[in-house]
Chains A and B, each alone.
Chain A
Amino acid sequence: MAFPITASRARRLWSAPRVVLLGVLALLCLVPMLWLVLAPSKTESQIDNGSPLSFGSLGGYHTAWRHLISYDGGVLYHWIANTAEYSLGAMALGVTTALLAGYALAATRIAGRRIILVATLMAMIVPTAALVLPLFMEVNAVRLTNTAVSVILPASLFPFGVYLSFIHFSTRLPREVLEAARIDGCSEAALFTRIALPLAKPLIALLSYFAFVGNWNNYFLPFVMLSDESKYNLQVGLGALISGTPALNPSVGGSQLPIHRPEVAVAGLVTTIPVVLVFLFSQRFLVKGMLDGALKS
């Protein structure tokens, strides 16, 4: 006798394969990261001939690092310092301006507020990559290309931060509280510093995360703005290593360079690790922020 498949029975039947499929996908996400962590521990021939996910030796990391820092007179140190400078500089400027603007748009009734909000939303949705070429031409017209300023200042424009900040202050800072403080004689500056800012600590952390990660991973803007290799950030430097050395592209000359796959993998690790660490530690508020920023209504 055949039993009809009820909805609850179908759900139970589907449950185990679903978990397996989701688990397999999760493992697939881990494998590339695992390769990146393990590759520098091996020699070039171990990478070529051994199991892709095997471990070489701890000394392998040291050797690969030593080779990498000898590349072009230790230019890697410049790339690390530049990445920190560009990321932190753009983050500081971007977060500060976004926080102030978001507060002003939420807590004060300035003229043209709607226009500013629409412009902010448009700037938020249009990807920054769409503006890079015109930006280059604009910055080139004032002869500022190939400077830190040419990367930091354009990257400081943070409309997503303004929007998050606006949403935060709109929802967490009741107008009645502000108005009561004003009636009590509190100045506008004191309102911001004594009431709004203490409430905005989670917001500042969230804005800092998005700004830092976005700028740390920025490729197109520095790629177009910077021509001097010592001014590259890690992303552009890693790109130069990938395409400009025989590590992954044997057709490139210069095989005397000690830059092979383990060295490029170390460069990949150096580029990635700060973001992964920041990401792992901030996962909880990050999810909330993504939802707030995207979906507040």
Chain B
Amino acid sequence: MSSSRSKALVTAAPHGGAATDPVAATMPGPGPGPSAASRLSASAPRARRRGQGQAFGWLCVTPYLVLLGLFGIGPLAYACYASIANPGGSQPSGLGGYSRAFSDFRFLPAVADVAEFMAIYLPMMVVGVILLALAVQEVGPRLGATMRLMYVLPGAVVGSASVLLWYVMLEPTLSPFGSQLRAMGFTTGAEVFQSSNLIWIFALMAFATGFGQWVVIIFGALQGVPEDQIEAARLDGCTWWQTARYVKLPAISKYVLYMVIMTFTAGLQIFVEPQLLYGLENVGSQWWSLNQLGLYYAFNNGDFAAASALSLLLLVVCAAAAGLLIFKARFFDTEVA
């Protein structure tokens, strides 16, 4: 990463313009102007105001920094320490926590489970949301607003409530979609809730709860594509798909990347669905996902070093994705310093 890129971060930049330091902006430049004495007398109150501003700024930001230190950076530092020292654990300290975490017979299956889940969930979410947002944009504004509201609604039911709802929806003897499930060959819950179907079930649950808010965001991004470009494409005889493919999608590529990365980092942390479904139907395992496995290392094996090592792995992957979004794609860039 170039140094200019590393400097190009989000800072106060109204309306996307280059941010200007109000103090620096009002400082006179070289050349003809007020005398040195008047400059000195004018700059003294400014310097005092600047000092007061800095002090007040620190006062305001300190409570947040304390929280960030204690519950953002602190756990990270503690995980680094615990992965080596293994506090409270019976296993030896050192780098053994890493080897135990990554050589455990449950580790690779958990990685495979999460990877397969992501391989289905991520494309389903990205393609589904883009197509839906494009389609919603084409219907009238009132109908479109109603659709968007309906799509976001399932997002209000998350966590254990979502597991409850989806358990019922997929249980052929209880579900309003029972006849469709039976037509697909599923007559009992035991036939639906099998290990081989779990990835699809979790992908469906995650899609249903998350797609609505992304449709809203991508729809909002599409609304920002200049109308004259779309009209020009239409006049040139472009079909709906050609307009979307060559005009709209390139214009919203950053937003799509944002969705991909946020969906990726959230999907990587899958926990509540496999945890509760295992308790309900005894399907999957207590270490189906990586977060479940970390919990298992900590509370069933008493191996906090291995749990910390696994958490650090997940954090590193998520932080790399975040770094990609911030620095490489410059998604949040509003100022080139």
Residue of B nearest to A120 (CB): B68
CB contact list, B129-153 vs A, under 8 A = 132, 135-136, 138-139, 143, 146-153
User: With A and B bound together, what is the CA distance between A179 and B156 in angstroms?
Assistant: 43
A51 CB to closest chain B CB, in angstroms? Answer: 8
- Residue B251 is within 8 A (CB to CB) of chain A in the complex: no
User: With A and B bound together, what is the CA distance between A295 and B217 in angstroms?
Assistant: 8
Collect the chain A residues with CB atoms within 8 Å of residue B307's CB: 133, 137
User: With A and B bound together, what is the CA distance between A6 and B235 in angstroms?
Assistant: 11
- Residue B76 is within 8 A (CB to CB) of chain A in the complex: yes
Is there contact, CB below 8 Å, between A110 and B71? no
Collect the chain B residues with CB atoms within 8 Å of residue A265's CB: 164
Contact with B along A14-30 (1 / 0, CB 8 A): 11001101110111011
User: With A and B bound together, what is the CA distance between A105 and B332 in angstroms?
Assistant: 15
Partner of B217 from A130, A137, A291 at Cβ < 8 Å:
A291
User: With A and B bound together, what is the CA distance between A23 and B280 in angstroms?
Assistant: 33
Contact with B along A178-197 (1 / 0, CB 8 A): 11001000011100100000
Collect the chain B residues with CB atoms within 8 Å of residue A291's CB: 216-217, 220-221
Is there contact, CB below 8 Å, between A53 and B176? yes
Is there contact, CB below 8 Å, between A287 and B220? yes
Is there contact, CB below 8 Å, between A243 and B74? no
Is there contact, CB below 8 Å, between B332 and A121? yes
User: With A and B bound together, what is the CA distance between A297 and B11 in angstroms?
Assistant: 11
- Residue A31 is within 8 A (CB to CB) of chain B in the complex: yes
CB contact list, B312-337 vs A, under 8 A = 314-315, 318-319, 321-323, 325-326, 331-334
User: With A and B bound together, what is the CA distance between A35 and B161 in angstroms?
Assistant: 12
Q: Tell whether A157 pairs with B71 under 8 Å between CB atoms, given A48-B174, A249-B280.
A: yes
Is there contact, CB below 8 Å, between A35 and B169? yes
Is there contact, CB below 8 Å, between A133 and B258? no
Is there contact, CB below 8 Å, between B67 and A32? no
CB contact list, A184-226 vs B, under 8 A = 187-189, 192, 213, 217-220, 223-224
- Residue B12 is within 8 A (CB to CB) of chain A in the complex: yes
- Residue A257 is within 8 A (CB to CB) of chain B in the complex: no
Is there contact, CB below 8 Å, between A97 and B216? no
How many residues of A are in contact with the other chain, CB < 8 A? Answer: 124
Q: Tell whether A127 pairs with B165 under 8 Å between CB atoms, given A32-B157, A101-B64, A104-B60.
A: no
Collect the chain B residues with CB atoms within 8 Å of residue A59's CB: none
Q: Tell whether A7 pairs with B159 under 8 Å between CB atoms, given A105-B12, A141-B78.
A: no
Q: Is the interface of B mostly helix, strand, loop or mixed?
A: helix
User: With A and B bound together, what is the CA distance between A101 and B66 in angstroms?
Assistant: 11
User: At the interface with chain A, which of B46-54, B90-98, B195-203?
Assistant: B46-54
User: With A and B bound together, what is the CA distance between A110 and B11 in angstroms?
Assistant: 12
Q: Tell whether A134 pairs with B322 under 8 Å between CB atoms, given A31-B176, A127-B269, A171-B15.
A: no
Collect the chain A residues with CB atoms within 8 Å of residue B239's CB: 7, 10-11
Q: Tell whether A7 pairs with B237 under 8 Å between CB atoms, given A21-B135, A26-B151, A129-B269.
A: yes
Partner of A242 from B64, B163, B220 at Cβ < 8 Å:
B163
- Residue B26 is within 8 A (CB to CB) of chain A in the complex: yes
- Residue B282 is within 8 A (CB to CB) of chain A in the complex: yes
> What's the interface size class on B, roughly?
35 or more
Is there contact, CB below 8 Å, between B160 and A114? no
- Residue B295 is within 8 A (CB to CB) of chain A in the complex: yes
Partner of B318 from A22, A33, A127, A154 at Cβ < 8 Å:
A127
Residue of B nearest to A179 (CB): B22
- Residue B210 is within 8 A (CB to CB) of chain A in the complex: no
Is there contact, CB below 8 Å, between A130 and B147? no
Is there contact, CB below 8 Å, between A126 and B151? no
Is there contact, CB below 8 Å, between B280 and A122? no
Collect the chain B residues with CB atoms within 8 Å of residue A93's CB: 67
- Residue A47 is within 8 A (CB to CB) of chain B in the complex: yes
B4 CB to closest chain A CB, in angstroms? Answer: 13
Q: Tell whether A52 pairs with B72 under 8 Å between CB atoms, given A109-B57, A219-B272.
A: no
Please report A residues at the B interface, Cβ cutoff 8 Å.
6-8, 10-11, 14-15, 18-19, 21-23, 25-27, 29-36, 39, 47-48, 52-53, 93, 96-98, 100-101, 103-111, 113-114, 116-127, 129-138, 140-141, 153-154, 156-157, 159, 162-163, 166, 169-171, 174-176, 178-179, 182, 187-189, 192, 213, 217-220, 223-224, 235-236, 238-239, 242-244, 248-249, 251, 261, 264-265, 268, 271-272, 275-276, 279, 283, 287, 290-291, 294-297
- Starting from the known contacts A10-B240, A108-B60, A125-B262, 15 additional A-B residue pairs (CB-CB under 8 Å) come to A7-B238, A26-B146, A104-B56, A117-B9, A121-B10, A121-B332, A123-B72, A125-B322, A133-B310, A153-B67, A154-B71, A175-B20, A192-B56, A291-B220, A295-B220
Please name 10 pairs of A and B residues whose Cβ atoms are closer than 8 Å in the assembled complex, sorted by A.
A52-B176, A109-B54, A125-B325, A156-B71, A170-B13, A182-B53, A239-B276, A239-B279, A283-B149, A287-B216
Give 9 closest A-B pairs by Cβ, nearest first.
Answer: A243-B279, A108-B57, A188-B56, A134-B75, A101-B64, A125-B322, A104-B60, A134-B79, A26-B150
